[in-house]
């Protein structure tokens, strides 16, 4: 009797292990659009019908470890403000002025008076990444090309 129960338990466990992958479901978020430049990437994705933009930068100071600096944008107005602030920041390059932009704890942009080739962009936690002017222009163009209809507005509507 004990041997039969042991066989039944073993059979049930093995059957459960074999059947589990059949009924398990993996949710894969496919990007709507992707942006890549050296050390910097961005993806526009949709999760449960809501769009968001996730950007990350590999810290160039480290080559053997991963040190990502990331920005998460979930509202349409935040993306629109980022585009305006990036365009505005380009006008300050080479003017020997330091200018800072910070919006909704989503992103931070700094143009330093000592660096003439680009800007620093990052998140609200003082983590910044240096982007060259040509990559900023490509990033702005990519952001402008996105159809933001999947992103909510600040009032919660689409």
Per-residue pLDDT at 133: 93
Say if residue 27's pLDDT is above 60.
Answer: no
* Phi–psi pair at 55, nearest 5 degrees: -120, 145
Q: What distance lies between CA 110 and its chain's CA centroid?
A: 19
Per-residue pLDDT at 4: 55
Per-residue pLDDT at 109: 94
Assess contact for 86 and 71: CB atoms under 8 A. no
Taking the model in full, what pTM does it have? Answer: 0.76
The string of pLDDT tens digits covering residues 118-154 is 999 988 777 788 889 999 999 999 999 999 999 998 8
Residues 6+ apart with CB under 8 A from 103: 78, 81, 82, 85
At 13, the pLDDT band (50, 70, 90 cuts) reads low
Per-residue pLDDT at 134: 93
DSSP assignments along the chain, one per residue: -HHHHHHHHHHHHHHHHHHHHHH-----PPEEEEEEETTEEEEEEEETTEEEEEEEEE-TT-SSS--EEEEEE-BHHHHHHHHHHHHHHHHTTTTT--EEEEETTTEEEEE-TT--SEEEEE-TTS-EEEEEHHHHHHHHHHHHHS-GGGSBPTTS--
CA geometry: angle 104, 60, 32, nearest 5 deg? 55
The string of pLDDT tens digits covering residues 39-92 is 789 999 998 889 999 998 876 666 777 767 889 999 999 999 999 999 999 999
The string of pLDDT tens digits covering residues 84-124 is 999 999 999 989 999 999 887 889 999 998 888 899 998 87
The closest of 155, 152, 157 to 79, measured between CA atoms, is 152
Say if residue 25's pLDDT is above 60.
Answer: no
Assess contact for 106 and 73: CB atoms under 8 A. yes
């Amino acid at each position: 009797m004990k041997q039969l129960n042991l066989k039944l338990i073993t059979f049930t466990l093995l059957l459960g292990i074999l059947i589990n992958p059949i009924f398990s479901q993996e949710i894969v978020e496919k990007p709507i659009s992707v942006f890549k430049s050296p050390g910097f990437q961005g993806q526009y994705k949709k999760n449960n019908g809501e769009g968001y933009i996730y950007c990350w930068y590999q810290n160039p100071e480290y080559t053997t470890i991963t040190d990502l600096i990331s920005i998460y944008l979930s509202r349409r107005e935040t993306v629109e403000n980022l585009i305006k602030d990036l365009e505005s920041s380009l006008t300050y390059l080479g003017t020997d002025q330091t200018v800072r932009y910070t919006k909704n704890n989503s992103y931070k942009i700094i143009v330093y008076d000592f660096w003439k080739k680009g800007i620093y962009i990052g998140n609200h936690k003082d983590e910044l990444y240096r982007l060259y002017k040509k990559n900023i222009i490509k990033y702005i163009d990519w952001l402008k090309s996105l159809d933001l209809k999947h992103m909510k507005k600040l009032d919660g509507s689409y």
